[in-house]
Amino acid sequence: MRSRQRMFAAVMRLLLKCLRLGRRRRFKLVRQAEQLWHYGHLCLRSLLYNSFTNGDVVLDSLFEPVYWLVDHVTRWFGVVFVALVIGLTSSIVAIVYICLLPLILQTYTPAWICWHLAYGHWNLIMIVFHYYMAITTSPGYPPQAKNDLTGVSICRKCIAPKPARTHHCSICNRCVLKMDHHCPWLNNCVGHYNHRYFFSFCLFMTMGCIYCSISGWEMFRDAYAAIERMKLLEKERLQVAANQTYYQTPPPTFSFRQRAFHKSVVYLWVLCSSVALALGALTLWHAALITRGETSIERHINRKERQRLQKKGKVFRNPYSYGSWDNWKVFLGVDVPRHWLTRVLLPSPHLPHGTGLSWDLPPCVTEPRAPLLAI
């Protein structure tokens, strides 16, 4: 009996010892897993730590694939947009020459004929010239050697010197002097050397569309009424063909040339009116920026700076603004009065003031530059 009790006690002690060892081993494995987890978490945070990280940085990082997709799609679609602009403009010019010009020559007085021929061809030349120059002219890029520049920062994306008013274009993947924006309709950046060409193209294209819309208003009304009449007669012709008797004759039909003429006039007026509204609003927006001596990017920067200084009781002054009138003269390159004719009203490939690297006072400015900050 005693031997059985001893054996049972020995077995129980052995079992308790095994359970104690298993529990210790289990606690040791859990402790090691926790240490590995904390160590991995610490390594990950040390690799991704940045004292400037905030919600905006995290949001930008999450949207980085979207930005990449937009940049590459815009770069590829730029060629399509340029072809679309050329195709639509060519179609309007063809309709004017084939459909409208013969009517103008037959019905208008000699004075009005001379006016339409002179203004129409001048406007067309200005549109073609400035669009070609805006596409083919480089916007201007800063040099890669920092020795040529003084007092510039370094672009954090292309690791190159970044002069004042220079910004990085993610689509072109390089810095652009006095960058305004990347225009997909030009497949090019709008910068220091082609900003005037871009604005002139928008202005003259808007003027041309308004001219076509106003000149073709009466023709548009007649063509639209003719198309409605064609639809009604086509409906009657189908009804007569379905219930035709010996004494009924189908109504007359319009020829293909008449249909094409009326539809072309309606297409011209609708397209020109739509472009005039959309492009006119864009032109007015850029005209307001030029009046203030700003670009599209600088407007956002100056607004934030203005709000920041306003909290401190200070007033922000744009250092690149010389006054409304002088801003336009600097932008258009008007140094003497005759330049309004030779450089503004006629095609001119003259270069803008300065190199885009430094911003000295242009010779056409009569008033001194305003200070950057004013108390």
Does residue 134 fall inside a structural domain?
A: yes
Does residue 296 have a pLDDT over 70? Answer: yes
What pLDDT score was predicted for residue 160? 80
Q: How many domains does the chain divide into?
A: 1
In angstroms, rounded to a whole number, what is the distance separating the alpha carbons of residues 37 and 58? 24
- Contact status, residue 373 vs residue 317, Cβ threshold 8 Å: yes
Which is more confident, 221 or 252?
221
Residue with tokens 């009203």: 345
- Provide mean pLDDT across the span 45-51: 66
Query: In the beta sheet, which residues pair with residue 183?
Result: 188
Judged by average pLDDT, the poorest of 14-23, 152-161, 261-270, 358-367 is: 14-23
pLDDT grade for 104, boundaries at 50, 70 and 90: confident
Residue 3 lies in a domain: no
Catalytic member of 183, 202, 212, 272: 183
Residue 148: domain span: 61-345
3-state secondary structure of 167: strand
Contact 316, 309 (CB under 8 A): yes
Q: What SS3 state is found at 315? A: strand
Which residues, 6 or more positions from 251, have their beta carbon under 8 angstroms from its beta carbon? 233, 236, 237, 240
For the chain, what's the residue count?
375
More confident residue, 332 or 35: 332
Active site includes 183? yes
When pLDDT is averaged across residues 271-282 and rounded to a whole number, the result is: 96
Return d(Cα 262, Cα 373) in angstroms, integer. Answer: 61
Of 35-44, 217-226, 248-257, 297-306, minimum mean pLDDT range: 248-257
Pull the structure tokens for residue 291: 């009046």
Amino acid letter, residue 327: N
Which pTM was predicted?
A: 0.77
Mean pLDDT within 168-183: 90
pLDDT at residue 331 in the model: 95
Does 6 map to a domain? Answer: no
Q: Examine residue 367 and state whether it is found in any structural domain, yes or no.
A: no
Mean pLDDT of the 163-177 span: 89
Domain-located, residue 353? no
* pLDDT value, residue 373: 40
Higher confidence at residue 95 or residue 231?
95
**77 domain-assigned:** yes
From CA 264, how far away is CA 254, in angstroms rounded?
Answer: 15
- On whether the CB atoms of residues 162 and 142 are closer than 8 A, the answer is yes
The answer on pLDDT for 23 being more than 70 is no
Q: Does any domain span residue 138?
A: yes
Q: Among the listed ranges 139-148, 205-214, 259-268, 366-375, which one has the minimum average pLDDT value?
A: 366-375
* Tokens 């094409």 -> residue: 260
Direct distance between the N- and C-terminal alpha carbons of the chain, in angstroms, rounded to an integer: 106
CA torsion sign for 176, 180, 185, 186 is negative
How far is residue 21's CA from residue 193's CA, in Å, rounded to a whole number? 81
Give the tens place of pLDDT for each residue, 229-265.
888 877 776 666 656 554 555 555 667 788 888 899 9
**Inside any domain, residue 281:** yes
